[in-house]
Chains A and B, each alone.
Chain A
Amino acid sequence: MALAIGDNAIPFDLPGVDGKNHTFVDYSDKEAVAVVFTCNHCPYVLAWEDRLIAVQNDYADKGVQLIGIGANDAVKYPADDMDSSKKHAAEKGINFPYLRDETQEIATSYGAERTPEIFLFDKTGKLRYHGAVDDNYENPDAVSVTYFRDALDALLANSDISTTQTAPVGCTIKWK
């Protein structure tokens, strides 16, 4: 079972592609933190990745922090190991911490199932949105509902989020 809307964030302490460990608490001064389960090889991630980078760019000044977490089994899928993640982050210009959940404990505890899958928390650490980036992975020009941005806008304006959950669309997390 995935975290439910209103549940508290589950703390983590994971290594990042920058060679440092990152914890959820490191970002407790933020207005919102989006934990995004992701990976390097999934076409849905690759399709949406530029839009996630754009969100971080557009909302950084408003106190929003994205954190990517890769949890795929790197034995079966070596394209998702730490070295490949470092390379991928550099090549794509990922502008938020990209962490590696080698034991898959965090992905399991969040109840994440796919990549990409967003868990958006408010400044008190409560889950406010869970799901997809928007409604069109294939064509950014044909998006009709920007679920993630809409949730961020509402959260930052202290308004109700109209759509708090959508079905994450993407590759399944590759469990050990």
Chain B
Amino acid sequence: MDIHFLYFEDCPSHDVALARLREVMAEEGIAAEIRITKVETEEEAENRGFVGSPTILVNGKDIVPPPPDTPAMLTCRVYHWADGRFSPLPSPDMIRNALAQKTTE
């Protein structure tokens, strides 16, 4: 499984997001390495299709696919949790569900 964590330094919670990803992977018994990429320029964001920090890709697919017209840019990303909350981080369940889906594909 290819797990890729992309972040923008100015968004302050990327370390919390990475720790959350690692925690969920440990809970699910997934031992894959995490590729970590710091996105530093608008050009790089555009080239990578990076729509905000943090973004987690599993086998190249976003764990929470953004709407197709979402612009690529250096910004902090909004995650809308199932309970209605907005957060700068994906919930543990969002990560867990995405990993579970990829392991069964």
The secondary structure that dominates the A interface is loop
Q: How large is the interface on B (under 10, 10 to 19, 20 to 34, 35 or more residues)?
A: 10 to 19
- Is A47 part of the binding interface, using a Cβ–Cβ cutoff of 8 Å? yes
Confirm or deny: B6 has a beta carbon within 8 angstroms of a beta carbon on chain A: no
Chain B neighbourhood of A137, CB < 8 A? 13, 87-88
Query: A137-B88, A138-B87 known; A43 and B78 CB under 8 Å?
Result: yes
- With contacts defined as CB atoms under 8 Å apart, how many contacts are there between chain A and chain B in the complex? 39
The number of chain A residues with a CB under 8 A from chain B is: 15
In whole Å, how far is B73's beta carbon from the nearest beta carbon of chain A?
A: 7
Give A residues with C-beta under 8 Å from B.
41-44, 46-47, 76-77, 137-139, 169-172
13 CB contacts below 8 A, A to B, read A41-B75, A43-B78, A43-B87, A43-B88, A46-B86, A47-B85, A47-B87, A76-B73, A137-B87, A137-B88, A138-B88, A169-B13, A171-B11
Besides A43-B77, A138-B89, A170-B12, 7 more A-B contacts (Cβ < 8 Å) are A41-B78, A43-B79, A47-B86, A138-B85, A138-B88, A170-B76, A171-B75
